[in-house]
Amino acid sequence: MYTIIAKTPLSHNVSRMEILAPPVARKALPGQFVILRAMEHSERIPLTVHDVNTQSGTVSMVYQVVGAGTRELDSLKAGDSLHDFVGPLGMPTRTEGLQKVCVIGGGVGCASAYPVARSLHEQGCQVHTIAGFRSREFVILEEEFSRVSDLLKVMTDDGSYGEHGMVTDALRALIEAGHRYDQVIAIGPLVMMKFVSLLTKEHGIKTVVSMNPIMVDGTGMCGGCRLTVGGQIKFACVDGPDFDGHQVDFDEVISRSRMYEEFEKREREENCRLFRQEVQ
């Protein structure tokens, strides 16, 4: 059993959870993920490692409550234990030798972008960070990013905080201002990563995206996380999750990601109905 050391709300429906898991803490690197189960019969949830503390043996993840599995996870508190906690899985993000990088995070994807930005900063790389959110109430990790970024732009879709616009607006402005990046690293919603990649392709800037399609076993055997990269079939859980953004078939991945929308909608509605009945 894996004890929950701390649980901290970050924004609307988003929390950070710190788990005592020394074997994982000793091995985990930026870009890798874990698969956990809150309870014995819970679904398997893949979450990117947000932070590790090798001295205390703890691993932190950030999650958003979006369905039954994350709702069960969120029902636990400090002192409780997770039933399963497996990792680290996937390939770490390659950051060696980079001199100037723009790290882009979208929504809860910022939790995965932060350890990458920090690793680059610790290596002496010049880091520009763009963090995009729907509105002020969804902004997370601004203070953490400010400590590891030479330049930080916070964007909101509605202009309620930071600058008004999309992450691509900020990236385009930085490129047009004369900034030249060795690489752009984008982590967040599929549509966001697609348009970041289209923009950087125009300017010939190498771009790495973190792909997090549906995962089940984390070993590549189930095939749920398959995607097409450069005309070849890849599996995000073992070949990635990082891939060349200019080679990913985003339209295929986006189409596949929508296969379960109706089922997930019914599940959310059913769980909300049961929750209301329990409260009454």
What's the CATH superfamily of 2-89? Translation factors (2.40.30.10)
pLDDT of residue 275: 47
pTM, to two decimals: 0.87
pLDDT of residue 45: 87
CATH number for the region 93-208 comes to 3.40.50.80
pLDDT of residue 157: 93
**What token pair was written down for 124?**
């002496």
pLDDT of residue 238: 85
3-class SS shares of the chain: helix, strand, coil, % to 5: 35, 30, 35
* In the chain, domain spans: 2-89, 93-208
Residues in the chain with pLDDT < 50? 275, 279
> What residues contact 142, with CB distance under 8 A and at least 6 apart?
131, 152, 154
pLDDT of residue 270: 61
Q: Which residue has the tokens 């379960």?
A: 260
Interatomic CA distance for residues 121 and 126, integer angstroms? 7
Interatomic CA distance for residues 225 and 229, integer angstroms? 12
Cβ atoms < 10 Å from Cβ of 183 = 20
